[in-house]
Chain A
Amino acid sequence: MTLMLEELQHIARIEKERQEGFQHRIRVCVAAGCLSCQSGVLKEALEKEVSRRGMENWVDVKGVGCLGLCTAGPLVAIEPEGTLYQGVKVSDIGPIIEALGGSPVVDLQCSTDLAFFSKQHKIVLENCGKIDPERIEDYIAERGYEALYNALRGMTPKEVIDEISKGGLRGRGGAGYPTGLKWTTVSKAVSDTKYVICNADEGDPGAFMDRSVLESDPHRVLEGMAIAAYAVGANHGFIYVRAEYPLAVKRLRTAIAHAERMGVLGNNIFNTRFQFDIKVRLGAGAFVCGEETALISSIEGRLGKPRPRPPYPAESGLWGFPTLINNVETFANIAPIIRNGGAWFAGIGTEKSKGTKVFALAGRVNHTGLIEVPMGTILREIVFDIGGGIPGAGKFKAVQTGGPSGGCIPEQYLDMPVDYESLAEVGSIMGSGGMIVMDQSSCMVDVARFFMEFCMSESCGKCVPCRVGTTQLYNLLNNITRGSAVPADLATIEELCDLVKNTALCGLGQTAPNPVLSTLHYFKDEYLAHIEDKYCPANTCKMKTATFHCDRAQDG
């Protein structure tokens, strides 16, 4: 079956009419955060109550993706009133239904005037919390797959790439490589077979953006991949997603099945000669598989170990064929760029970092959740306006970005813009978008040790600098937190960091010293307090002299 624009618009119209047929639409957040607050049960109870009261013809209950403010879950939004309820329990259902059309239930109301909502700019998350991720019609009603149609029917592959280049989109996986450039390289590679891979192996602890996009708006990623495949001349796609995200996997599989049935994936898409299929491949809990060559190796059913580059996957990737690998958020940006034009996208953000960035805001901050802000937003605005500041009597200490590859940004840089270059200047990285706020109760040495422990156990063991270097660094840091370090250890740490950074094979090892270097740079006094005074300023480290664990760590 081939689908044409008229049919696409017809589906969208029917869906819009269906939705507008309801006087009230109750949207229950069923993304991971709210689901763990039992929003699934809540949604079922709401549906039951609505039909018990015989209101099902004018009240629609639907499960939607992330509404953003995870800390206040389960969240329920009422349309068209625009009311948002927080912390809703099954016992609140009665009052909520009775309040439809009247004044809202004040006790449950969450103000939508919060800076958390008003300071955001949504492109990637525009449909999150709006559409039912398990219905393709809902996505089409929001102009879904229109960009794919326009690309296939009205643009040459080169024009598509030019539009992306004009938009200035850079890879959202962390390194910020220009997407247009990557696509050009793959499109120029000569081969009958090419692949497009979506990297959804979001392994950074403290990052859940990709997961929310996949759970809330999976079709957007599929559409982005299909446009990319057309632009570079690929016919097969893979989504490599963490097995730890069962809901995202389930929704992706549903979305792919619906897209195939609808004819937006498969053969002769939109009656052109373009064909494209997507398969889901599960990760199995190896952080290193976020590295592109390791990821390819894992899709091939092997150990997820990286290999030296070049050749880059763009020339020789999956099974030796040219392969385009982009991150979930990068693909999620494609359809809006094609729809609105590269110039529109380039108008958002800073000179070198265009568009928006999704961050997972967590840690010691009042409003934790998923946010999307224009590139170049001031860090202070993110933490104190959108994030609502530090809870209780806490005092801001640092914000950690980029996970185990990033660094800790101290208070004096709160007024810097958040973009690729500025973050790199202060010794951190954009990373995939985890942003963890810390207050005085977090010990920075302990945080560095935590990340080093992570890198140590996630090191694949292929290259010596990473395998041995991370272990040695961990032991040294462990000694500091246990009060058994000597002043000379700091110099050793710096030397080792330098060595690992410059000689490791892949990104995991090359960036593993970053958390240590940045905390050592900005919080050296804390290191010294541990070493010289055997005292932990944050009172988190248990300072002991020689213990069994300590001995074991030294031996290990």
Chain B
Amino acid sequence: MIQASGEATQSTEKFAQMAQDRRWRMVNRTIRLNGNQPDALIETLHAVQDSFGFLDLEAMEYVAHQLRVPLSRVYAVATFYHYFALKPPGEHTCVVCLGTACYIGGSSAILESIHEHAGIHPGETTEDGKVSLLIARCLGSCGLAPAAVFDGEVAGKLNPAAVVEKIRRWTSHDSDA
């Protein structure tokens, strides 16, 4: 019992310390705006991911503590929804759209050529941590199929060569420098 409460104090201290971080202050703002309600769990996780780029165990513990929900529920939500990343993203991200229009427009060929060139499958990051490859269900840019997002910028009417060239520039440009 004594040991348990000791642990609790320890983690409370840790969380208090974390709350000083500017990035956590942004998260706390979201929690406050939603009235400290556990219902805002998904909103809060969005805020964490916006600040840190991904969710790690420490972040989930922090959120569980702040919203007073079990860690198991935070973990369940973080793993259920595709949008949340549990691994840090690479320096650059390429999100290839796999919506219907993009699929029949040839996005699987784009994924194949990325794999050939960079050796990564969707959900993976290159070994040097430079490029992460993700897939999207539909970007809603079907008029521009096949489309992809390079570091937040949507590009449409792509072909495998153009995508590989873009990724090659990300990887080689930095190593040249």
**Residues in chain A within 8 A of chain B (CB atoms):** 32-33, 35-37, 70-71, 73, 202-208, 211, 243-245, 281-287, 298-304, 360, 362-364, 368-370, 400, 403, 434, 436, 438, 441-442, 447, 450-451, 454, 458, 460
User: What are 12 pairs between A and B in contact, CB < 8 Å?
Assistant: A32-B139, A32-B154, A71-B144, A202-B140, A206-B142, A208-B138, A285-B137, A299-B39, A301-B42, A363-B142, A368-B143, A460-B80
Contact of B104 among A36, A202, A447 (CB under 8 A): A447
- Residues of A contacting B73 in the complex (Cβ-Cβ under 8 angstroms): 302
Residues of A within 8 A of B101 (CB): 205-206, 362-363, 368, 436
The residue from B83, B100, B103 contacting A284, defined by CB atoms under 8 A apart: B83
Instruction: Find out whether the CB atom of A363 lies under 8 angstroms from the CB atom of B104.
Output: yes
Interface string of B60-87 (1 = CB under 8 A from A): 0000000001000100110011111000
Given A282-B43, A436-B100, 5 more contacts at CB 8 Å?
A205-B137, A244-B139, A281-B43, A283-B81, A301-B39
Interface size on B, residues (CB 8 A): 40
B100 pairs with A33, CB closer than 8 A: no
A33, B143: Cβ atoms closer than 8 Å: yes
User: B156's closest neighbor in chain A, by CB?
Assistant: A36
Q: Are B100 and A363 touching (Cβ within 8 A)?
A: yes
Q: Given contacts A36-B156, A243-B46, A363-B104, are A284 and B143 in contact (CB under 8 A)?
A: no
If the complex has contacts A284-B45, A301-B39, are A368 and B142 also in contact, measured as CB distance less than 8 A?
A: yes
Q: A243-B46, A434-B100 are in contact. Are A284 and B137 (CB under 8 A)?
A: no
- When C-beta atoms are compared, the residue in chain A nearest to B79 turns out to be A303
Chain B residues near A304 (CB-CB < 8 A): 80-81
**Which residues of B pack against A, CB within 8 Å?**
37-43, 45-46, 69, 73, 76-77, 80-84, 98-101, 103-105, 136-145, 147, 153-156
> Given the interface contacts A205-B98, A436-B100, A450-B100, does A362 sit within 8 Å of B145 by beta carbon?
yes
Tell me, in angstroms, the Cα distance from A142 to B3 when the chains sit together: 67
Residues of the B chain whose Cβ atoms lie less than 8 Å from the Cβ of A303: 76-77, 80
Complex Cα distance A243/B137, Å?
Answer: 12
In the complex, what residues of B have CB within 8 A of residue A35's CB? 154
Which residues of the other chain, B, contact A458 by a CB distance below 8 angstroms? 137
Is the beta-carbon distance between A286 and B80 smaller than 8 angstroms? Answer: yes
Instruction: Name which of B76, B100, B136, B144 has the most chain A CB atoms within 10 A of its CB.
Output: B100
How far apart are A97's CB and chain B's nearest CB, in angstroms?
Answer: 27
* Chain A residue at minimum C-beta to C-beta distance from B97: A205
B141 pairs with A284, CB closer than 8 A: no
Q: How far is the CB of B97 from chain A (nearest CB, A)?
A: 8
